[in-house]
Structure 1
Amino acid sequence: MKEHDHMTKAFPPIMTQGIDEPCRFEGEVYDLEVAEGSVPTEIDGLLVQAVPDQAFPPEVNTLHPMTVAAGGDGTVRAFRFKNGHVDYRTRYVRTERFLLERQARRSLFGNYRDPFSDDPSVAGKSRTTANTALFFHAGKLFAAKEDGLPHEIDPQTLETRGAWTADGAVTSPTFTAHPKIDPHTGQLIGFGYAAKGETTRDIAYYVVGKDGKLEHEAWFEAPMAAMIHDCAATPNYTILPLMPVTSDLGRLKDGGPHFIYDPDMPQIFGVLPRMGGVGDVRWFRAPPGFTGHTVNAFEEDGLIVFDVLEADGNGFAPVITDRNGNVPPPGSVSTSLVRWRIDYHALSEELSDRTVLARVDGEGPHIDPRREMRPQRHVFVPTLDRTKLTTDKNGRPMPVLFNQLSHFDLEAGTQESWYPGPAATFQDPVFVLRSPDADEGDGFLIAVLNHPLERRSELVILESLRLTAGPVARLNLPMRMRLGIHASWIDGAFVPDWS
């Protein structure tokens, strides 16, 4: 087939919903316009966010919801803060998949984590889009998605430097987008699940030194083939929470979705010493619950204390259904900040020491990075206040995911939030410390705020411990920002000044 015989057609209607239709755009805006307030001059660093942005219309007969929500090609959205100015840049991650499709000028890869739906010409090629999260380690910036290897990104130009293997030491084809970095040793604790192929139970576990060299590797099997999206670490232990989202090779071969929600699956936490091997892993179990993103973990009185967001139903609805194709009604699933206490040496692997610290109804928690692996008081989360949901002039629900930025003070037992109005929705914020010696949690929250009905976005900066006061600065973004996934903050001491 000649190249011009396959013209790029329009995206299917399900992918062109308002502000979140594909952007397919690379570029920069130098010196963003400050519409209100002023950018605090002490903010110096780089806000980076991973954004799925489909480069070519998909060519599968049945498009799964997860493909629409999280299947797009990875782009890096970056804002460089310096001396009261903010510059913006966005660029696609040049994964093998992206380059193959760009060369073909069409989509070659099918549904989310489904190699059986791909064009035969790309069999055996890397399917990852590196579209979920970014992390910074050993002086390098990485874009990652858990179905493949992280890709190194130049923090100044956003050029892709290639897939990362720690100089060939990481042999797993998959690696988490949520590794943990020990702020005291500089070690990176990471893992890949489905490490011997999609739907396998194999886990490859890695500890990488602050110099980027591999220090430890262990391979073991999980009790079942389930998503392990996030992890947690203490100075001595690592926790791998299995989510009630399971995969099955037969279902995948039959054209079904990669993941389904299993409401009957217990919560399962794999726990091992940081430098532990296959014989050291213990699989602790608890009654069913939807384990979301981890908040933090530390050790106290000989126990592992594990703080995590937990939903009381399908936390991935509507993009993942149960085995019958059902999703819960909108607004029926709530999330809480839950604290588990785990005795690694206990005779029983049944967990019961669980405390609800706060009702959250949000996802994507952030804490003061100096408190990682130590007890934390302040937690910042984008949340949803359902009492403030409204409809548009046609009676349709507002396209709002999170309508507040919230601060939870675990010591005082309080919640403080900023609500920007009925037709605004937050993307993942970052926490920025005011100064190296500031009190815990004292700094800024910075987030992209979308106005879907107006198809516009802005960047807002709030003081983290004074959220109800509203933004100290609002910056106009001259283009819509389709929904990204995770955002991270890198201190300016570690990244070059763009100017």
Structure 2
Amino acid sequence: MAKAFPAEVTGGMDEPCRFDIEVFDLEVVEGAVPTDLDGLLVQAVPDQVYLPEVPALHPMTTAAGGDGAVRAFRFKDGCVDFRSRYVRTERFLLERQARRPLFGNYRDPFSDDPSVAGKDRTTANTAIYFHAGRMLASKEDGLPYEVDPVTLETRGVWNAHGDITSLTFTAHPKFDPATGEMFGFGYAAKGETTRDIAYYVIDAAGKVIHEAWFEAPYSAMIHDCALTESYMLFPIMPVTSDLARLEAGGPHFVYDGDMPQVFGVIPRFGNAADVRWFQAPPAFPGHTVNAYEEDGTIVFDVYESDGNAFAPVVPDKHGRPTPPGSVTTWHVRWRIDYHATGPDLSDREVLAVVNGEGPHIDPRRQLRPYRHVFVPTLDRSKLEIDENGRPYPVMFNQLSHFDLVAGTRDDWFPGPAATFQDPAYVLKSADAAEADGYLIAVVNWPLERRSELVILDTLDLAGGPLARLRLPVRMRLGIHSTWIDGDLVDSWR
């Protein structure tokens, strides 16, 4: 029997939804859906079915450890259909059969029920990508699960025909638009808290064509990566793991503000002996934006914060607080010479103050110079206080467009009590200009406990939505979104 969730889990907009749902033909309450939109906006969502029964429930468990659900909006002929369905992972099915929680805290197998020892713990709740005709839902603590892009039924674990031997695989692989190859990796590839990294190149048909194993200098989170024509980059976050701490009941990750930034670089088809580790002064590298090569050097763009970007979900190693509003995020450009003799980096350029996360660019510009970035951001000057003296529960209150060449930005601010989920950027056509597309996002209104879907023209974000669609149920905060073109899926043609 499911037990009632405590107030700290159900007291806000982000409480679990716990449903599979389908809504045909969403209501358009303002404007019109562009008829040239043909495809699927998909989002990975952590949504707890059962709350772990553990002596100490760690914040990361409820924030990012929930069962994975796929949220899908199908666009066609000016209409939008909506479907959300849980990914039937081994973990999900075991708990559904038992009708109780069997798995414990986030990435902590020592807190699990003994009956599930050795079972697959992943929830596939972080990101969704499409490769070799397959839609894959992924979380970096396990292998992806294939999900049918039309019905959202789970097809099972995907391991590239058995060629992926790592225990884990990233939620952020990179793709070469010219070759159709996918570049991915698993960290903690031999088990939780290990320093092992397994690197894979997977061809357009889904076959592994290159594999390399090596060790990171730290046991820490490597959430994202970056790709150029010749190299793969691995930015290590200052969020470290420790086996002894985990065995003692502590959190899997803690923030270590004293740790330097560390970037691993391997040639595209390199091996362990070819890996070089570069470092820079302490900071928090977040999601990567893009990377390419210029004048014999690697140009690597990443979002960088000056403090604990995961506070309060990830605790500080020394117990130091992170006051709200004290962390700033920049768009930073590093230039790295793989053949340089020294490991210390100094060629750093700040391109913009962002205070946001989850950047999106024109997919045709991957591995190439680019100009435009679209991202949800937070303008702290627009935060308002409720009658109890507390700020509205907002994570990102704007959608923003940064023109890196002109040094300008364009924002849409829907109101003081709205918060954005991760958007998707969709080009208007195959030959559209780099900045000419649509930005599609779910907007939450926490005080009203409702959500809506909005579509904006990226050439005029400040002008507001081209269309607003009513969602008949509130949407728990998802993590990453992506767009799948309609012509990639046979049954949609």
Could you say which TM-score interval applies, normalised by the shorter chain?
A: over 0.9
Structure 2 counterpart SS, 1:453: coil
What is the 5 A alignment of 1:258-337?
A: 258-337=252-331
1:493 matched to 2:482: no
> Hey, what does 2:108 align to over in structure 1?
114
What code does the residue aligned with 1:159 have? E
d(CA) in 2 for partners of 1:285, 1:191: 20
Structure 2 counterpart SS, 1:347: coil
d(CA) in 1 for partners of 2:221, 2:419: 27
C-alpha contact 2:284 2:305 (8 A) present in aligned 1: yes
> Hey, what does 2:190 align to over in structure 1?
196
d(CA) in 2 for partners of 1:392, 1:458: 22
Structure 1 counterpart SS, 2:478: coil
What code does the residue aligned with 2:406 have? A
> Hey, what does 1:95 align to over in structure 2?
89
Provide TM-score, normalisation by structure 2. 0.99
d(CA) in 2 for partners of 1:18, 1:498: 37
1:396 matched to 2:390: yes
d(CA) in 2 for partners of 1:170, 1:263: 33
d(CA) in 1 for partners of 2:486, 2:56: 45
C-alpha contact 2:486 2:492 (8 A) present in aligned 1: no
Structure 1 counterpart SS, 2:60: helix
d(CA) in 2 for partners of 1:285, 1:14: 39
Structure 1 counterpart SS, 2:146: strand
1:382 to partner: Cα distance: 0.2
- Superposed CA offset, 1:270-326 (max 9, x none): 001010000000000000010000000000001100000000100111100112344
1:18 to partner: Cα distance: 2.1
> Hey, what does 2:217 align to over in structure 1?
223
C-alpha contact 2:91 2:123 (8 A) present in aligned 1: yes
What code does the residue aligned with 2:172 have? H
> Hey, what does 1:418 align to over in structure 2?
412
- Superposed CA offset, 1:368-409 (max 9, x none): 101000011000010000000011222221000000000000
1:168 aligns with one of 137, 159, 162: 162
What is the 5 A alignment of 1:56-205?
A: 56-205=50-199
1:12 to partner: Cα distance: 1.9
> Hey, what does 2:458 align to over in structure 1?
464
d(CA) in 2 for partners of 1:85, 1:326: 50
d(CA) in 1 for partners of 2:6, 2:105: 14
- Segment of structure 1 superposing worse, 384-393 or 73-82: 384-393
- Superposed CA offset, 1:441-485 (max 9, x none): 210000000000000000000001210100000000000000000
Structure 1 outlier segments of 4+, above 3 Å: 324-327, 496-499
1:380 aligns with one of 358, 366, 374: 374
Structure 1, unpaired ranges of 5+:
1-6
Structure 1 counterpart SS, 2:266: strand
> Hey, what does 2:340 align to over in structure 1?
346
What code does the residue aligned with 1:75 have? A
Structure 1 counterpart SS, 2:88: coil
d(CA) in 1 for partners of 2:58, 2:19: 24
> Hey, what does 2:207 align to over in structure 1?
213
Identity %: 73
- Superposed CA offset, 1:147-185 (max 9, x none): 000000100000011011101000001000000011111
Structure 1 counterpart SS, 2:13: helix
How many residues in Structure 1 have an aligned counterpart in Structure 2? 493
d(CA) in 2 for partners of 1:154, 1:122: 27
d(CA) in 1 for partners of 2:459, 2:288: 22
Provide TM-score, normalisation by structure 1. 0.98
- Superposed CA offset, 1:212-235 (max 9, x none): 000000000000101000000001
What code does the residue aligned with 1:360 have? V
d(CA) in 2 for partners of 1:39, 1:474: 8
d(CA) in 1 for partners of 2:82, 2:386: 31
1:498 to partner: Cα distance: 6.4
> Hey, what does 1:55 align to over in structure 2?
49
1:125 to partner: Cα distance: 0.6
- Superposed CA offset, 1:348-378 (max 9, x none): 1110000000000000000010100001100
What code does the residue aligned with 1:444 have? Y
d(CA) in 1 for partners of 2:74, 2:167: 32
What code does the residue aligned with 2:315 have? T
> Hey, what does 1:254 align to over in structure 2?
248
d(CA) in 1 for partners of 2:130, 2:166: 20
Structure 1 counterpart SS, 2:447: helix
C-alpha contact 1:12 1:57 (8 A) present in aligned 2: no
d(CA) in 2 for partners of 1:325, 1:486: 29
C-alpha contact 2:262 2:278 (8 A) present in aligned 1: yes
What code does the residue aligned with 2:342 have? S
C-alpha contact 1:190 1:206 (8 A) present in aligned 2: yes
> Hey, what does 1:3 align to over in structure 2?
none
What code does the residue aligned with 1:262 have? D
1:340 to partner: Cα distance: 0.3
- Superposed CA offset, 1:90-127 (max 9, x none): 00001110010001001100000000000000001110
What code does the residue aligned with 2:34 have? P
